[in-house]
Structure 1
């Protein structure tokens, strides 16, 4: 049987002992000894496949590089507010490109990917559902008028503010200072005389109506509303959103890859598995080592008695009682070099038995953790 040992136990050691000073440290990886019948040198096909995987990993976009290629297009109307300088400084410090360009929606921000050609139009950055990403900035008065349109009709409204047939994109909304505006004094008598309908609508809206409108916007148009107290808070949100867009390609690439612990006929986190299945016993040994307080000698004893999980499952199924099943591995002898005879013990036997037989995903295996 293949002997799997942690680095430093077999053959040679990296670095010197305590008397000779510390040697160079390396990442903890598992190695297969030279006596392993599986062979220490992968086949040519495996080397080519592994090189292909490494090349694909190297081609995965790095968030820093994607961030430098992102372009945040800001509508010129945003700059009319004195607090817009805070937003522009934050975007400049972030490292992405910021362009002042008229947008389809006034007072809006749009994210796009830059192009090597300065004269080319940058491509839009879509959201997860494929729509372009827009952030529309609203004044509190404008947002409250939309709230009145949503909440002061019987039944569900037929249309949603800020969305028109000419512009089917569903923007994200950001309102600065809404809470302070709602707590401020209501329109004066002069303002009510100048625009009585608007003043009456604003006077009839409070936080209950705002919360109702937020729910309606989420249900009817899947529209998110960001309520911030200042331009500083808005800048933090915009920068966080830009960083998330830069990290999304690498996360999407990582999600398409196989899990690190899955074996695909090649390397599995340091354990080589060939196409004919050689090396799976080493993977089984490493899986047992993942349990708490399991030494290499204990894992070796279990793998020697049951070389595969299927064999252990069949033995557990053949047990006549629950007590026999939980204690199946308890009396297995452990070959502890230079120490007194040991056995696997009832605690680990119970944990491995439950791990292979339970149907409860929330079961706590280790009572001592």
Structure 2
């Protein structure tokens, strides 16, 4: 041993035996192995016996089985993944179907809403068409009492309605000889109009006037027709008065000639024209029933046709009046003859002021222009009256205003005058509304 290193040399062909004698001066191989601890097996090492082999074999089998199970688990997981994918696809398919059904429901809902909107629009257009002139008469039905057809004017009444293309029906009514109207509203039930015509022949009305029961009869009509506007139609009164006058003249001529034979008196109690007019005025003031005098079947048919047209056009005219009143703000607007339109900006006020001045008696357009050129509005005139020192000076404020009659070399002037000046002053300053403009 040199330097702490042991060198062993042996012949490969003749291995050293542990029992071989050591070289002289050197330790033997067995001693070296014993000193190094190589002669004994390691403390933790052991030899493989049959039992150890079996244990190793069991462990190997367990590892193999575990490995096989792991591989089987991996393969089973790999096989289960398509199953999860299939279930996800089914869920997606179900969601798509639900979305499709929801979209279908939404389309159906929108289609139903559109159809409803179109139906409402069509109904509104139909209702608007039902109120327009020319078309509205198609939606109004004239209801005639059956007793009207038994009178002499019944046939002419039907011809007048047929000639004007009005719908009509004949049926017993609550009030004999009455005419009423029903409006056929599109998409709704029929609606009864407020206007009612009640026809009374002259013999029947003569008895009521002579007995003083005409007002009581009118009140009974209003009670039988609550909430309705009743118009009393008197048929044949003028013919009676003409015949009455003829009989009086014949009797007078007979007396003048000295002949006792003359025209006989008329049947009935005898009512004068003045008494009839007084009775009808009393009925209108006491009960609110209007009246119309009709003398022939053709006139009665024309009257019913005129009332039918007025009843048919009533909603259209009321709607037009409402719209015009909204457009003209507070200004009164009329569509009759010689009316002045005033817009919201005040255009037309000066012309309206001149038109008002022309309403005074003997006031011409030149007179109105003369007053309007000095005082451009009623307020300016009232302020001028307020600045006057006395009542007389206010009354004569306008008398000296010049009025120019023409233009050019032929022009001439005159004054307003004291009479018209007093009338204008009294009109704008009088505290009593019943006072006269020109008191005597």
TM-score range, shorter chain: 0.3 to 0.5
Which one has a bigger Cα radius of gyration?
2
Q: Which has the higher contact order (CA 8 A, sep 6+)?
A: 1
Larger helix proportion, structure 1 or 2? 2
Q: TM-score, normalised by structure 1?
A: 0.46
